[in-house]
Amino acid sequence: MTFRIGPRTSQIIFYVILLTMTAIVVIVLFFIIFYVLRNGVDQLTLEFLSDKTREMGKEGGILPSILGTLFITVVATVIATPLGVGSAVYLVEYTRAGPIRRIISFGADCLAGVPSIIFGLFGFIFFVISMNLGWSILSGGLTLAVMILPTIIRTSEEAIKSVPHTYREISYSLGGGKLDTILRVVIPTALPGILTGVILGIGRAVGETAAVIFTAGSSLGLPTSIFSSTRTLAVHFYILAREGISMPKAYGTAAVLIIIILAINFIAYRLMHRFIARYY
Amino acid sequence: MSKISIKRLSLYYDSCQALKDISLDVESGEILAVIGPANSGKSSLLRALNRLYEIDRASIEGDIRLDNESIFRLPINVLRRRIGIIFATPVVLPGSIRKNISYGPRLHRKLSKSDVDELVERALKSANLWDEVKERLAESASFLSGGQQQRLCIARTLAMRPEVIMMDEPCSGLDPISTAKIEATMLELKKEYTFILVTNNTKQAARVSDRTAFFYLGELIEIGSTQRLFTSPVDRRTDDYIRGKFG
């Protein structure tokens, strides 16, 4: 007698396999977050968040790094978002599907896969040295902007492409020009998708180490202008852990970084849901 | 003088000719039905009249006059305001009912809030939709039923105060009750507007139109008063089509 698996059994087996895979992913993810938070939670005091860093990070808090991370991310986002969305609109609305668009998209995909340390090196040579911006928030922000551009372009491009052609046709048929159509119909419709790209970009920028260590430096002073050198949270964590300065402070920094990233994602998704609820 | 006068119109998509040497007039205040099997050029005719064919990268020969002025001389936004179109599938734009209706007028001029209120109410009343949606103008239009969405599209076009309204099979996806409502709306609006109604439903053409044109494979086979065309068609192909012998 041969052993056969009935269709119902194979359904169940397949379901269990998929469930296990998902469970592994979720468990690993939560374990990392839990582990970092558990090790860093003792450090999370108001003083740690609001104090200057002393003795290279062995003592004091991480306020300079929080501000440095914030400023660099803001610079990167403010520069990369309009450039990225603008390019995506141009690619979809003003060029025809064909080899040129494919080459640009392919280029953006490749750029998205380039290791961040390469961007760091480029930023160092171009922004820090050639443009004489020095190690600064501006250099770091510009470098990160270049780094997150491909993500923003590609996600915006997909979002804009998925706006139904009929919406554009309706707008034209009501006497709208191309610009009206793009500004009043295409971009608002694509906004949730575009925002997803921007959030992914911000997430990448906040947590970036290699690209900023070369371009923003690792100074521990409170930043006073966009030309100040600064040390982001990720860099601070790296230096604390790598040079064995203070593991507790390193975990404290990592915990703050993770909480910031979770908060950004949470707020962004709330905003997006509110937006979708209002328009769709 | 005719409202629209089409002279020797041909329309090409690349090498494919969709309209062949069409000449016809549309009189002011009439409902002209355009019937014919698939691929007969009915939709292409509409897309030529408000120059929507330009976004399909089609090319055109011949002339079309609106109130004796060539449509190719009119600014495109003015032309499309004067000749509105309603498509087969109702497409509501993302956003509220109010926003859908004010979209067109806002493209052409600045409007205060009270202007918009007035315009939205008038358009919805003309499209027989006001009573059903007046409580929820700020809600998303995508929650409306198919028939309501189509009447919203009509209201959206009416809000532009067009002179001619073209409808491309406006009832093809609708149930009989919604269809009846839209036909009633058309008959009411006939006093103020000129209609061109493309329809696959010959009974609908017979019910609402004053004149009917029969298209076949890009050619205008026959045009005449609806009653005459349906009772004693001149061309055999027209006769076959309205008897349902085609295809």
> Is B84 in contact with A174 (Cβ distance < 8 A)?
yes
Residues sharing a CB contact under 8 Å with residue A162, sequence separation 6 or more, in sequence order: A190, A193
The identity of residue A65, as a single letter, is S
pLDDT average, residue stretch A206-222? 90
Nearest Cβ partner of A188 from B50, B94, B156? B94
CB-based burial, B84-116: b 16+ in 10 Å, e otherwise: bbbbbebbbbbbbbbbbbbbbbbbbeeeeeeeb
Tell me if B87 and A169 make a contact (CB, 8 A cut-off).
Answer: yes
Q: How far apart are CA A42 and CA A36, in angstroms?
A: 11
Contact A160, A92 (CB under 8 A): yes
pLDDT category, A105, cuts 50, 70, 90?
A: confident
Strand spans (E) along B88-243: 164-168, 194-198, 211-216, 219-225
**Hey, where are the domains in chain A?**
63-236
Q: What are the structural domain ranges in chain B?
A: 4-92+163-242
pLDDT per position as a tens digit, A68-85: 999 999 999 999 999 999
What is the distance between the alpha carbons of residues B3 and B66, in angstroms, rounded to a whole number?
A: 6
Minimum-distance CB partner of B107 among A167, A169, A176: A176
A280 pLDDT higher than 70: no
Cβ within 8 Å, pair B81-A164: no
> CB–CB of A219/A231 below 8 Å?
yes
Nearest to A169 by CA among B88, B67, B134: B88
Nearest one of B55, B72, B75 to B64, comparing CA atoms: B72
What integer pLDDT is reported at residue B11 of this predicted model?
94
User: Which H/E stretch holds residue B61?
Assistant: strand B59-66
Query: What value does the mean pLDDT of chain A take?
Result: 90
Render pLDDT for B178-204 as a digit per residue (tens, 0 to 9).
899 889 989 988 889 999 999 988 889
Structure confidence at residue B225 (pLDDT)? 94
* CB spacing of B157 vs A174 below 8 angstroms: yes
Residue burial A43-71, b: 16+ Cβ < 10 Å; e: rest: beeeebeeeebeeebeebbbbbbbbbbbb
Enclosing H/E stretch for A22: helix A7-40
**Which of A5-19, A80-94, A266-280 comes out lowest in average pLDDT?**
A266-280
Q: What CATH number has the domain spanning B4-92+163-242?
A: 3.40.50.300
Q: What is the pLDDT of residue A279?
A: 60
Q: Do B142 and A169 touch (CB under 8 A)?
A: no
- Banded pLDDT at A1 (limits 50, 70, 90): low
> A103-117, A266-280, B55-69 — which is least confidently predicted?
A266-280
**Complex ipTM, two decimals?**
0.88
Dihedral sign (CA A179, B169, B148, B184): positive
Question: What CATH number is given for A63-236 in this structure?
Answer: 1.10.3720.10
Considering only residues A276 and A104, tell me which one the structure prediction assigns the higher pLDDT: A104
Nearest to B107 among A167, A174, A279 (CB): A174
User: Phi then psi for A136, rounded to 5 degrees?
Assistant: -155, 165
- Residues in chain B with CB shorter than 8 Å from the CB of A93 are none
With an 8 Å Cβ cutoff, are A180 and B107 in contact?
A: yes
In chain A, % of residues over pLDDT 70: 98
Do B51 and B79 touch, CB atoms closer than 8 A? yes
What does chain B come to in residues?
A: 247
Over residues B90-96, the mean pLDDT reads 89
Query: What percentage of chain B has pLDDT greater than the value 90?
Result: 65
A245-254, A267-276, B115-124, B225-234, range with the lowest pLDDT: A267-276
Residue bearing tokens 């065309």: B229
A170 to chain B: which residues are within 8 Å by CB?
87, 91, 93
What is the distance between the alpha carbons of residues A217 and A62, in angstroms, rounded to a whole number? Answer: 16
Least confident of A153-162, B78-87, B106-115: B106-115
Per-residue pLDDT of A167-193, as tens digits, reads: 999 999 998 889 999 999 999 899 888
Residue of B nearest to A170 (CA): B91
The percentage of residues in chain B with a pLDDT greater than 70, rounded to a whole number, is: 99
More confident residue, A98 or A2: A98
- CA of B49: which chain A residue's CA is closest? A173
* B197, B30 contact by CB (below 8 A): no
Say what the pLDDT of residue B157 is: 93
Q: What is the count of residue pairs from A and B with beta carbons less than 8 Å apart?
A: 66
Q: Which of B95, B142, B160 sits opposite A174 (nearest CB)?
A: B160
Q: Which amino acid is at B42?
A: K
Chain A residue with the nearest C-alpha to that of B166: A173
B94:A164 CB<8 A: no
Decide if B81 and A171 are in contact by the 8 Å CB cutoff: no
Q: Do B84 and A188 touch (CB under 8 A)?
A: no
